[in-house]
Structure 1
Amino acid sequence: MIHAANTQSSLDLGLIGNGAIAALVDARGRIVWGCVPAFDGDPVFCALLSPRLHEGGDYAIELEDMVSSEQEYLPNTAVLRTVLRDGHGGVVEITDFAPRWHQHDRFYRPVMLLRRVRPIAGLPRIRVVLRPLSEYGASKPEITWGSNHVRYLVPGFILRLTSDVPVRMVREGLPFLLNRELHLVLGPDETLTQPVSSFVRQSEEKTIGYWRDWVRNLSIPLEWQDPVIRSAITLKLSQYDETGAIVAAITTSIPEAANTVRNWDYRFCWLRDSAFVVRALNRLGATRTMEEYLRYVANVASAEGVLQPLYGIGFEKELAEEEVSSLAGYRGMGPVRRGNLAWLQQQHDVYGSVVLAATQLFFDQRLLRGDAAIFSRVEPLGERAYALHDQPDAGLWEFRGRAEVHTYSSVMCWAACDRLARIAVHLKLPDRVKYWRNRADEMHARIIEHAYNEELGYFVEALDGNRLDASLLLLADLGFVKPDDPRFVRTVEAIGLGLKRGDALFRYVAPDDFGSPETSFTICTFWYIDALATIGRREEARSLFERILKRRNPLGLLSEDLEFGEGEGWGNFPQTYSHVGLINAAMRLSRPWQDAT
């Protein structure tokens, strides 16, 4: 259990959700971020991004004279427990979750947040403060009420709070003595068909059961089980069940560093990030996520194999970017953005990302098996990869003002053709084996010639370039070079010298469109840990991994970036990339299960 005083780092947040909705809860039990009716919707809870025009954008259970709080997830679940203490011996427990369980051969996962509040000790006085805003904090919704509910008329979606708290106490935020357990259901404008108390309690029991069953089926490593389980649950909460899309993060516009304009909207599905997620979860045995994601890809890929870097969670292609003036930003650090212009970019690595994810269909017997028909649908992605492997793009870091032939993009294009050759072998298609192997070999030779800088003695960021980039740490993992290739070993060593500061890594250090980077990129640190283990520096990798685990927030979650000094989290939160890195590093570094017996 973690403890918090009256002040805390702003990203000391917990994530709750169910595949339809997600929300962030601070250390006082206040919901400060949540969109309806889905991850990319209107943030009715937007206090995290400082509304300018109205107070609110939050949902709190406020304890009078609160002096401290404690917070934890119930083990192996996405159910969050917060304990608030006042200065007079009063103690209140808040249980937060979004309902999810199997029902009628499908998942029950409504757009709904449930809270259970109970007194633990003393005579606590509380207020229920529910202040949703609409249109990105620009408006206050109209409120109506009945005998046991309050309705908030958000444009396009009506929120109804059904509760055994007296309606006037909620409407006016009046304080009252908490002398019994209370239950609050916030969701669609639908009438509950059973008492609210029994609905919340039964939902809590079923939701706990769902998550514990899900975790029970994971193939986790011997060591670092708690961090891996928390990361796996976090990744699962980032998948939108309706379509299979996986968002890069739940938030928008949390800057990569203090007082920087590097603020982006991450509530969309980057095919690259998502492919990393499903490969990590597949290694843990969560195969359904892979199948749902590949269903999503099948819906966005064109017949010609043309892919954008990202799409909306509902398959949207156009994600126009605009600044939102009604929100001042995280800690007042704007701008706040809605949409992301990266959808217009050329990022050629996406073809390799999708093919690598699809490859598992053909070799993993737990999945729906790939066959010649599916292979023929994947092949156009290889054709695009071959055509683009030596062409400039924005790269995986999405440079807005610089296009080069990035080594990582080229290698991922090679990986697409290489895996197609392997799949053709598996399917016993000799003509296609020869076709794709010839293409992959041709690409490999060209990339080696131009990506390895003989004078510097290591691989470089762009073909015929001279800069370092953390993505080069993945060359061995992708199979492009062998782990003991001296060129790769020297590249890892050069990255350690050139990009590492203390215990963390920059993505790159050269100035980009927005100046010089200031914080570490968390996934890059995990890539470095993996690479150290790959080249034989295993104990050094384990030690660094242990230190990075201590940089997670008190509930075990990671954002996109970490400060080099104090290790404070920055960037959108929680970041799927970061949790993928944690899982992969733990799986690589853990002692085998035989050591436990």
Structure 2
Amino acid sequence: MEPAVERGLPVERRHRLRHRALEPPGLPGPAGPGPPGGDRRPGRSRNGCRNHRGPWQEQVEHSGRVLQALTFAPTGAIVAAATTSLPESIGGDRNWDYRYTWVRDASFTLQALATASCDKEKGAFFGFLARAAATQLQRGVDLQVMYGIGGERDLSERPLPHLTGWRHSAPVRTGNDAWRQRQLDVYGELLDAAHQCLPHEMPLDLPVRTFLVQAVEAAARRWSEPDQGIWEVRGPSRHFLHSKLMCWVALDRAIDMAPALQAADRVQDWKAIREQIRTTIEGEGWNDQMGAFSQSFGSEELDASALVLALVGFLPGNDPRVRSTVEAIRSQLTDARGLVHRYLKDDMPTQEGTFLLCTFWLAHALAISGDVSGARQVFETALAQANDVGLLAEEVSSATGEALGNHPQALSHIGLVNAARAISMACRRSAPQCAPASDAPGALCGQNGANRKESLPPCANGYDVRSSRTLCVTGKEPRWTPLTTDRTPAAHPPSRSRSLRRTGRAHRQTAPPGSQQRNPRPKLRSSPIPPPPVPTRRRSLSGLVGCVRCWRRARRRVLPGRGSGAARCAVRG
């Protein structure tokens, strides 16, 4: 398209055209247009993400809506944050531009979108990553760590000296020079994302297969080289533990997807390299003096990214080395509030705050290792840092408790969703004999709740896995359901919620054995609205399309009609 013609198009249309020019054939495309007449603007025509049924359900759904709001619909890109240069240290120079998409966030982002049932955003995000990265691997260059929302690759950083910055925290930057760095962990993030989104047995299209195999081969070839690591250290390259771990993830996921990649002849070589990486990590990454995995090979610095060892399945959660590392991070990297630093020092002159993502990682790792009560305590500590509208920043100041960094931070909400899912799963594993709730799906967490006649004591883990209510931690009375020997829930008064009154749904309750079962789908209650007058002519459904209020009031009391010309509202006439 000619530049003069392109300038006359809307911004979203220009981004879409530029991005499609880079698309190799066969790779997943961006999210298609919505239904006719739908509004594609962020926050419009959104139903939210409602798949998680467990603790903190409302917060998980809210975080799903935050991720939707951070999505650029024409391409499917999800930005790390909506702002630039909000400081990580007040008055310092830790001011970065986060209005871009990082490949390193891919697998955790897709896990969160799957938990929150944001299937459309999940597919669109992986399609964006595949299209943006494919041509680079074809040229044999390192996979870029981040991209613009339209697939842009040159994200050169420059200061804006005419702006003083928030609370005089200069410089204000646009662009981010991290795009020039080498970060080997991106291969593992990309393959883990493909492992979550694509089929494992059915052969993929040739362009997709070629792209993913190239990514695996790059990880197998370069895993032993140093890089800047997950935290984008602006100093000399090192052999970071997390980077080696994610190369192991790339090979592990590719071996599992070998039938889909049509790469059965490469499996033996991939297995040998995967075992070599495992041996190296366990040998050079473990520090006997620290009693934990270190930040990089040969160092004595602790790093919160070592928590990912259990999150990606490299070691089981009950492994003594995992538990020792978790306890070391919990004791040495945690501040007085219980929030976790990503590490203790770096090459920057100013001190940063605690990382909410790392705090959610700690809760996630504790849940995997079986310490559900500890995981809940850490999770509640991080959740308490949300502002009045439920948004999370990147960091929190240890001194003042104020939010630091760009806001809202996608990774913080991603960590919230994944940790909530892990705690819910750990609770269900530790308490299989849970009483079903009387007015909501799910089950009450109660390790003390075996088959007993008396009322159950407070939950050992301190919460109800169905909802976001805080029980034992806040001192509120838990809503326990007494059990009988045949595990029949005792009678419970019907719910009085407004939503149930409005929809007219009766309370559902399991009847004791031998009694007559209630209708599983009770009839709607009679509407308080009087029936509309008898129409004098036949009317069509199309006459109510633009009258939603009357549509709800009419309660389907519309007669079939002859056409839209004679259509009128059944209530208003």
**TM-score (norm: length of structure 2):** 0.65
Which residue pairs with 1:361 in the alignment?
Answer: 197
Give deviations 1:186-231, integer Å, cap 9, x for gaps: xxxxxxxxxxxxxxxxxx9xx4xx323x43xx21132212211111
Which residue pairs with 2:215 in the alignment?
Answer: 381
TM-fit CA distance, 1:375 = 3.2
Total equivalences in the alignment: 400
Give deviations 1:508-528, integer Å, cap 9, x for gaps: 002x23125331011001101
TM-fit CA distance, 1:347 = 0.9
Residues 1:348 and 2:194 are matched in the alignment:
no
Residues 1:577 and 2:411 are matched in the alignment:
yes
Structure 1 pair 428/345, CA: closer, same or farther in 2 (3 Å)? Answer: closer
Which residue pairs with 1:315 in the alignment?
Answer: 151
Which residue pairs with 1:473 in the alignment?
Answer: 307
Amino acid in the other structure paired with 1:321 = E
Which residue pairs with 1:55 in the alignment?
Answer: none
1:423-572 correspondence to structure 2 within 5 Å: 423-424=257-258, 430-502=264-336, 503-510=338-345, 512-515=346-349, 517-572=351-406
Match 2:116 to one of 274, 279, 284: 284
Which residue pairs with 1:90 in the alignment?
Answer: none
Moved more, 258-267 or 286-295: 286-295
Give deviations 1:41-82, integer Å, cap 9, x for gaps: 9xxxxxxxxxxxxxxxxxxxxxxxxxxxxxxxxxxxxxxxxx
Match 1:103 to one of 35, 38, 45: 35
Unmatched runs of 5 consecutive residues or more in structure 1: 1-35, 42-99, 112-203
TM-fit CA distance, 1:429 = 5.3
Amino acid in the other structure paired with 1:458 = A
Amino acid in the other structure paired with 1:509 = L
TM-fit CA distance, 1:37 = 5.0
TM-fit CA distance, 1:306 = 3.4
Amino acid in the other structure paired with 2:157 = E
Which residue pairs with 1:390 in the alignment?
Answer: 224
TM-fit CA distance, 1:565 = 4.2
TM-fit CA distance, 1:278 = 2.2
1:422/1:433 contact within 8 Å kept: no
Moved more, 501-510 or 288-297: 288-297
Give deviations 1:509-560, integer Å, cap 9, x for gaps: 02x2312533101100110111112222210111221232121000000010
Residues 1:235 and 2:71 are matched in the alignment:
no
**Secondary structure of 1:573's partner?**
coil
Amino acid in the other structure paired with 2:116 = L
More helix by share: 2
Residues 1:406 and 2:255 are matched in the alignment:
no
1:538/1:589 contact within 8 Å kept: yes
Return the alpha-carbon distance in structure 2 between the equivalents of residues 267 and 443 of structure 1. 34
1:248/1:575 contact within 8 Å kept: yes
2:101/2:148 contact within 8 Å kept: yes
2:293/2:306 contact within 8 Å kept: yes
Residues 1:594 and 2:443 are matched in the alignment:
yes
TM-fit CA distance, 1:445 = 1.3
Structure 1 pair 565/363, CA: closer, same or farther in 2 (3 Å)? Answer: farther
Q: What's the % identity of the aligned pairs?
A: 36
Return the alpha-carbon distance in structure 2 between the equivalents of residues 342 and 329 of structure 1. 21
**TM-score (norm: length of structure 1):** 0.63
Structure 1 pair 325/516, CA: closer, same or farther in 2 (3 Å)? Answer: closer
Amino acid in the other structure paired with 1:109 = R
1:59-138 correspondence to structure 2 within 5 Å: 102-104=34-36, 108-109=39-40
Moved more, 266-275 or 518-527: 266-275
Which residue pairs with 1:200 in the alignment?
Answer: none
**Secondary structure of 1:103's partner?**
coil
Give deviations 1:234-272, integer Å, cap 9, x for gaps: 011111111121111000000012111100000011111
Which residue pairs with 2:97 in the alignment?
Answer: 265
Give 1 or 2 for the bigger CA radius of gyration.
2
Structure 1 pair 392/477, CA: closer, same or farther in 2 (3 Å)? Answer: same
**Cα root mean square deviation, aligned:** 2.7
Return the alpha-carbon distance in structure 2 between the equivalents of residues 221 and 275 of structure 1. 21
TM-fit CA distance, 1:298 = 2.2
Match 1:224 to one of 56, 61, 79: 56
Which residue pairs with 2:512 in the alignment?
Answer: none
Return the alpha-carbon distance in structure 2 between the equivalents of residues 494 and 375 of structure 1. 41
Return the alpha-carbon distance in structure 1 between the equivalents of residues 57 and 203 of structure 2. 30
**Secondary structure of 2:307's partner?**
helix
Give deviations 1:546-590, integer Å, cap 9, x for gaps: 232121000000010011244211100100000001111111113
Amino acid in the other structure paired with 1:103 = P
More strand by share: 1
1:273/1:576 contact within 8 Å kept: no
Which residue pairs with 1:333 in the alignment?
Answer: 169
Structure 1 pair 461/343, CA: closer, same or farther in 2 (3 Å)? Answer: same
Give deviations 1:356-397, integer Å, cap 9, x for gaps: 0011233489xx984676333201111111222121111111
Which residue pairs with 1:420 in the alignment?
Answer: 254
Structure 1 pair 299/440, CA: closer, same or farther in 2 (3 Å)? Answer: same
Return the alpha-carbon distance in structure 1 between the equivalents of residues 54 and 373 of structure 2. 17
1:220/1:284 contact within 8 Å kept: yes
Return the alpha-carbon distance in structure 2 between the equivalents of residues 364 and 384 of structure 1. 21
